[in-house]
Amino acid sequence: MILGITKNGVKRYIAAAFPSACGKTNLAMMTPTLPGYKIECVGDDIAWMRFDKNGQLRAINPENGFFGVAPGTSKSSNPIAMKTIFKNTIFTNVAETSDGGVYWEGMENEVDPNVKITDWLGKEWDRKNSKTPAAHPNSRFCTPANQCPIIDPEWESPEGVPISAILFGGRRPVGVPLIHEAKNWKHAVFM
């Protein structure tokens, strides 16, 4: 994952590595709540990194789009993703709505309660009585990156963007501090 953060006219790029369904897309498409900050997305998943001839770590997004986990994605959790997937998008294993839309867990407040839903297995699904999810837990959307309203102007730069920091994340709720700063690049590899 690669994103650009601008504050007071100074832009820095960070890369991040998390397992699937740990928030890479939400982080890459974050809407800042702090005044004066701007976030731009280079990519929400894979980052190819190398050092340039001056020793600057640079990263590119080798993908041409986003392949995101659908359940949990909503206008409240990730409004940028919802704007990005509005058109030209392929959905896999999601539920269908009777008005021609899609549905998955997390969209409960975004679909009219009178709309009928067919689950990912092709069966009628009832919000109140169905015991199984409407969409497969690993259902996905695949959409072009250039549709993202906050796509970074350098997202296709062949030189890549200069990386100032790398975040690593995972699913380990105990035993490891939430945030831990490395002393240098070698120490970070050791960690």
Asked if 75 and 110 touch (Cβ cutoff 8 Å), the reply is yes
Q: Answer yes or no: is 81 within a domain.
A: no
Domain count, the chain: 1
Token reading at 93: 């294993």
**Is residue 22 flagged as an active site residue?**
yes
Q: What mean pLDDT value characterizes the chain?
A: 92
Helix (H) or strand (E) holding 188: helix 185-190
* Global confidence as pTM: 0.84
Q: How far apart are CA 55 and CA 166, in angstroms?
A: 16
Residue at 85 is within a domain: no
pLDDT digit string, tens, across residues 141-182: 999 999 999 999 999 999 999 999 998 877 776 776 666 778
Give the pLDDT confidence score for residue 178 in this predicted structure.
63
**Composition of the chain by helix, strand, coil, percent to 5:** 10, 30, 60
**Residue 112 covered by a domain:** no
Residues 126-151 have pLDDT tens digits of 988 999 999 999 999 999 999 999 99
* CATH number of the domain that residue 20 is part of: 3.90.228.20
Q: Alpha helices, DSSP H only, in 29-180? A: 79-84
Answer whether residue 186 is part of any domain. Answer: yes
Residue 13 has pLDDT above 70, yes or no: yes
User: Tokens 């206008």 — which residue?
Assistant: 75
